[in-house]
Amino acid sequence: MGYKVAVVGATGNVGREMLDILAERAFPADEVVALASRRSQGQEVSFGDKILKVKALDTHDFSDTDICLMSAGGETSKEWSPRIGEQGCVVIDNSSAFRYDSDVPLIVPEVNADAIVGFTKRNIIANPNCSTAQLVVALKPLHEAATIKRVVVSTYQSVSGAGKDAMDELFNQTRAVFTAGEVKQGKFTKRIAFNVIPHIDVFMEDGYTKEEWKMVAETKKMLDPKIKLTATAVRVPVFIGHAEAVNVEFERPLSPEQATEILRAAPGVLVIDKRENGGYMTPHEAAGEDATYISRIREDATIENGLNFWCVSDNLRKGAALNTIQIAEVLINRKLLNRAKQAA
């Protein structure tokens, strides 16, 4: 049986990636509909070897649609996801709108696929923040082996996490630096070309940014509320691919060799860790790949039961579009979609 799938935000970075991945993975869809705001109506987007004409979200009837992949931003999702869910269509939302709602499961399939059954309360499933998704894929098997007490993570996040305009800004600023032109700022608070910015999302009262808070809240919701986590999120002049330097303290001993074997066997993870020049992964190499790559696994001798590692992933894929489609695949493989229609 084929399914009808709608992609909302089909003209954006993540929406286009969703369409590419649906085609790549031969998702069992009889029909795929590309949706966006009225100003994008009539634009064309690629879906495998087909071209789809973008239709307007506000005139689409979701009553005969099985799955809606939502990638149109938090405000749009807050308005539309509940309305779409009420029509019996399951929304898999890529924004932060419902991640912290107790009636909405927050899912990374390699980490907490069983929690997906809670979607019937609202017919909405949340996709985590891009930086959290790759982190919990790496932490989950280690937590099962030795129980994580505390995590300290510093992120090196690409500009694509802030959208197409941010990618254009990096490109234009870089060109301006080389041609002695005017370096114009728009999307970012400081120049991003040949620079790093320790500020992603808005500042909160405690001095952390919302991006850093998201990593804490989402890790606790998906993995274990007892885990203590602190983060520093940094934007770097890279187009695609987030990297993270991760320090973990465990309750029980776990050697670098044991951690390496555990991670090699973990779903969604590839270990590239040779202690030699170039024996590690970088965002450039991870772009376009599905895996979460782990490198630089080593002991932290300054604490008891401590490890460090380097974690890299394509933020548009595992951090967003791929994870969303993997969630849809779980719905289908576990035969859960008929529950959505019944709940509606």
Domain ranges of the chain: 3-127+321-334, 131-158+196-313
Report d(CA 266, CA 154) in Å as an integer: 23
Task: Check pLDDT > 70 for residue 82.
Answer: yes
Q: Considering just the CA atoms, what is the radius of gyration of the chain in Å?
A: 20
Residue matched to tokens 């520093």: 232
- 48 SS3 class: coil
pLDDT band at 341 (very low <50, low <70, confident <90, very high): low
**pLDDT over 90 for what percent of the chain?**
96
Task: Check pLDDT > 80 for residue 338.
Answer: no
Res 342: pLDDT: 53
For the annotated catalytic residues, the residue numbers are: 130, 242
Whole-structure pTM value: 0.94
Residue matched to tokens 């630089």: 296
Task: Check pLDDT > 80 for residue 309.
Answer: yes
Q: Which residues are annotated as a binding site?
A: 11-14, 39-40, 99, 157, 160-161, 235, 315
- Structure token digits, residue 121: 């309360």
Res 2: pLDDT: 86
CATH number of this structure's domain 3-127+321-334? 3.40.50.720
pLDDT band at 60 (very low <50, low <70, confident <90, very high): very high
Helix runs in 73-209, H state only = 74-86, 109-112, 130-146, 164-178
Residue type, 320: A
Q: Longest C-alpha distance within the chain, in Å?
A: 62
pLDDT in tens, 151-207: 999 999 999 999 999 999 999 999 999 999 999 999 999 999 999 999 999 999 999
Question: Chain-wide mean pLDDT for the chain?
Answer: 96
Residue 303 contacts by C-beta under 8 Å, 6 or more apart in sequence?
Answer: 249
Res 344: pLDDT: 52
**Cα end-to-end span (Å), the chain:** 21
Res 325: pLDDT: 97
Average pLDDT over residues 11-27: 95
pLDDT band at 1 (very low <50, low <70, confident <90, very high): low
Q: Which residues are annotated as a binding site for NADP(+)?
A: 11-14, 39-40, 160-161, 315
Architecture per CATH, 131-158+196-313: 2-Layer Sandwich (3.30)
36-41 contacts at long range (C-beta below 8 A, 24 or more positions apart):
36/8, 36/9, 36/10, 36/11, 36/12, 36/72, 37/72, 37/76, 40/10, 40/11
Report d(CA 302, CA 294) in Å as an integer: 21
CB contact at 8 A, 201 and 211:
yes
What DSSP line would sit under 300-330, residue for residue? Answer: -TTSTTEEEEEEEE-TTIIIIIHHHHHHHHH
Length of the chain as a residue count: 344
Residue 239 contacts by C-beta under 8 Å, 6 or more apart in sequence?
Answer: 158, 159, 160, 167, 170, 287
Res 160: pLDDT: 96
Residue type, 220: K
Give the count of beta carbons closer than 10 Å to the beta carbon of residue 95: 21
Q: Which residues are annotated as a binding site for substrate?
A: 157, 235
Tell me whether strands 242-250 and 228-235 are parallel, antiparallel or unpaired.
unpaired
Average pLDDT over residues 102-112: 98
Identify the CA nearest to 76 among candidates 91, 65, 87.
Answer: 91
Task: Check pLDDT > 80 for residue 316.
Answer: yes
